[in-house]
Structure 1
Amino acid sequence: MPASRRRATLATVAASAGVSVATVSKVLNGRSDVAPATRSLVQSLLEQYDYVAPPQRRGEPAGTVEVEFDTDLNSYSTEIVQGAVEAGAELDVAVVVSIRSNADRAGAWARGLAGAGRRALIAVTSEMTTRQVAALSRARLPLVVIDPLNLPRNRVTSVGSTNFAGGLAATQHLITLGHRRVAYLGGPATAACNQARLHGYRAAMETAGAPVLPGYVRTGHFLYYDGVTGGAALFELPETPTAVFAGCDETALGVLEAARARGLRVPDDLSVVGFDDTQIARMASPPLTTVRQPLREMGGVAVRTALRLAAGERVDSHHVELATELVVRGSTAPVPAVPPASPVRPVPGRAAEES
């Protein structure tokens, strides 16, 4: 093999930097006992040499799997982590949970994961760039994504649920209760899971002959605050909805709060459906009707799939979808006989005439 094609070693980098192999190893593992100037030099040489850790040898311990988020953990994240940890315990593999902070430098990020002994990466609701996927490939670090916000053109293994079927079931449930003015509050417009849930909602509305009125579809970030602000905006429309399908449980709880602030009673005046069936759905007041997404199972499947890829095995499919299920609780009811009143808007000049 030509010298230019040979895999760079720690000794190669150490010799170029004029430091010991131990120092290079410390930089790879994120140790703090390295002078800043030395750390910067070693990192630039690792980048230059495109260094990646050697592949795992047969018979060595399985190492660790990293489950990485790009935002703060919430009720959805907790369920994913629980499933991943349980699967890791069964397989005698440690699961490390992190929040991405330095993936802008794709090469250094991937090498850091490999250097820390990670055997695979599971990215949850993250936006993955082509550069990041390529850097992980060079580091021979398998990637599995759960509910990605986007999918690069590269062939990436992913785990999700039947989001379209879930969106369809949620909306059909509301239509069966007599609702025709049904709104949708979702997550990021580009997220594949959000698009599938929205398409399920639209399919149910079209099949029932129920029009999707202007302003009835809103996107956000799958957060509680999006439900509060989105719900408030819906209740200001000329024709207010009698039901709201929220793209996640947190958003649905925000809608409950927006309804409370408006003086609307759930489910007497307004029905609300969520998505996920996290713990907060059961703790809500009233308990939330929602689409159960098997989050723990998704975390477990992702870990097992990642380890199969790390072992060099082929997987049957590059995308796995687990079934969703509608769970009916107390936040939905038949459409009210008298729909909630539309907001009263002052007529310009009226007050002056009456005075």
Structure 2
Amino acid sequence: MPVSPRRATLATVAASAGVSVATVSKVLNGRSDVAPATRSLVEALLRQHDYVAPTPRRADVTGLGSVELQFDADLNAYSTEIIQGAVAAAAEAGVGVVVSIRRADRTAAWARGLVAAGRRALIAVTSELTTGQLAALAKARLPLVLIDPLNLPRTRVTSIGSTNFAGGLAATQYLLSLGHRRIAYVGGPAAAACNQARLHGYRAAMEVEGAPVLPGYVQAGHFRYHDGVTGGAAVLDLPRAPTAIFAASDETALGIMEAARARGLRIPEDLSIVGFDDTQIAQMASPPLTTVRQPLREMGGVALRTALRLAAGEKIDSHHVELATGLVVRGSTARVAPA
């Protein structure tokens, strides 16, 4: 059917597809109880009709509706801190927060489905978004805020982060102040912006001190426990093993602790470890973990308030905000043992 010059409605799409309005709504909301052939037909017609869900009124933004808080992987201690901050800010604003895990098919239908479900904005955490996905969100008029984005899109996108370079610098400088010179870095994805900043801080501190970064001393991962186990094993099995390791997350640090214990190393007597995030697991570790505090709850709250301002059509002062990090010293670090 030719595209109508008027704004398409759910009824328009349903009539074209020969299905009910409820079925079209299910497709928009990503429901699984729709036959694959029907779903494909409806999605094609949504694109053909250039369907965009009605934009909520300004009053709805501040008093009703919800914000989607989407993560790229299974929830962990890092995620919990972000959620706590976002939920607290949402309660003050009178809106709800819907937590989800990233869907594989981030398409135009996905963006329209979020709007149709009543989302006022999307907060994506440690996400990697393509130009097409950003365009789909813009077309659906759905405001986007990124927290610790893995990539920094060329398009002007609002993002919230922390002073990752300063945190990496402080962690490494502290280990150097304890007399360590053989310091390794077990990080996150090599291309992730936050990981690169922490790694650059580590390298800068090592260079200023004249401490060499030996071959094999930098390992990449995904900020997870098992990355610490494998990355820790890789550096601890080197001919010149490090006496200290800076981990790019608390989870990674705990994995390194396990790799060290499996090799009969004591922490901090034989190996000092510094993490990054200062989640609850840092305090529960044995020994408690020295780490760089990333203000995750504050980041969640700032992201939520920023998302609502964008949804209300307000201008924001900066498209990128960095909150300060700080070193928290606990029991996982000590002066280097004499040779």
Q: Under a length normalisation based on structure 1, what TM-score does the superposition of the two structures give?
A: 0.90
Separation (CA, whole Å) in 2 of partners of 1:91 and 1:285: 39
5+ unaligned residues in a row in structure 1: which ranges?
A: 339-355
1:112 is matched with which residue? Answer: 113
Structure 2 CA distance for partners of 1:101 and 1:34, relative to 1, 3 Å: closer
| 2:47 paired with 1:47 | yes
Q: State the Cα distance separating 1:307 from its structure 2 match.
A: 0.5
Q: State the Cα distance separating 1:173 from its structure 2 match.
A: 0.3
Structure 2 CA distance for partners of 1:205 and 1:84, relative to 1, 3 Å: same
2:94 is matched with which residue? Answer: 92
Counterpart AA for 2:80: T
Structure 2 CA distance for partners of 1:88 and 1:214, relative to 1, 3 Å: same
CA offsets per residue over residues 61-92 of structure 1, 9 Å max, x none? Answer: 43100000121011101111111111111111
Structure 2 CA distance for partners of 1:150 and 1:32, relative to 1, 3 Å: closer
1:194 is matched with which residue? Answer: 195
Runs (4 or more) in structure 1 with deviation over 3 Å come to 3-7, 18-23, 29-40
Separation (CA, whole Å) in 2 of partners of 1:251 and 1:215: 17
2:122 is matched with which residue? Answer: 121
Contact kept in structure 2, 1:274 and 1:291, CA below 8 Å: yes
| 2:5 paired with 1:9 | no
- The DSSP-based 3-state class of the residue aligned with 1:226 is helix
Separation (CA, whole Å) in 1 of partners of 2:220 and 2:79: 20
Counterpart AA for 2:181: R
Q: State the Cα distance separating 1:6 from its structure 2 match.
A: 4.7
1:156 is matched with which residue? Answer: 157
2:80 is matched with which residue? Answer: 78
- The DSSP-based 3-state class of the residue aligned with 2:189 is coil
1:63 aligns with one of 62, 65, 70: 65
- More divergent stretch after superposition (84-93 vs 55-64): 55-64
- The DSSP-based 3-state class of the residue aligned with 1:59 is helix
Q: How many pairs are equivalent?
A: 335
Contact kept in structure 2, 1:166 and 1:197, CA below 8 Å: yes
Contact kept in structure 2, 1:102 and 1:109, CA below 8 Å: no
Separation (CA, whole Å) in 2 of partners of 1:218 and 1:169: 19
Counterpart AA for 1:79: E
Q: State the Cα distance separating 1:23 from its structure 2 match.
A: 4.1
Q: Under a length normalisation based on structure 2, what TM-score does the superposition of the two structures give?
A: 0.94
Contact kept in structure 1, 2:28 and 2:110, CA below 8 Å: no
CA offsets per residue over residues 262-291 of structure 1, 9 Å max, x none? Answer: 111111111000000000000000000000
Separation (CA, whole Å) in 2 of partners of 1:245 and 1:35: 50
Structure 2 CA distance for partners of 1:34 and 1:235, relative to 1, 3 Å: closer
Q: State the Cα distance separating 1:233 from its structure 2 match.
A: 1.1
- More divergent stretch after superposition (231-240 vs 56-65): 56-65
1:225 is matched with which residue? Answer: 226
Separation (CA, whole Å) in 1 of partners of 2:37 and 2:217: 56
- More divergent stretch after superposition (113-122 vs 4-13): 4-13
Counterpart AA for 2:69: V
1:303 is matched with which residue? Answer: 304
Structure 2 CA distance for partners of 1:52 and 1:282, relative to 1, 3 Å: same
CA offsets per residue over residues 211-263 of structure 1, 9 Å max, x none? Answer: 11111111111111111111111111121111000000000001111111111
Structure 2 CA distance for partners of 1:48 and 1:328, relative to 1, 3 Å: same
Contact kept in structure 1, 2:69 and 2:100, CA below 8 Å: yes
Q: Looking at CA atoms only, which structure, 1 or 2, has the larger radius of gyration? A: 1
Separation (CA, whole Å) in 1 of partners of 2:258 and 2:65: 45
5+ unaligned residues in a row in structure 2: which ranges?
A: none
Separation (CA, whole Å) in 2 of partners of 1:129 and 1:6: 30
Contact kept in structure 2, 1:103 and 1:132, CA below 8 Å: no
Separation (CA, whole Å) in 2 of partners of 1:198 and 1:215: 14
2:167 is matched with which residue? Answer: 166
Counterpart AA for 2:282: A
2:18 is matched with which residue? Answer: 18
Q: State the Cα distance separating 1:22 from its structure 2 match.
A: 4.4
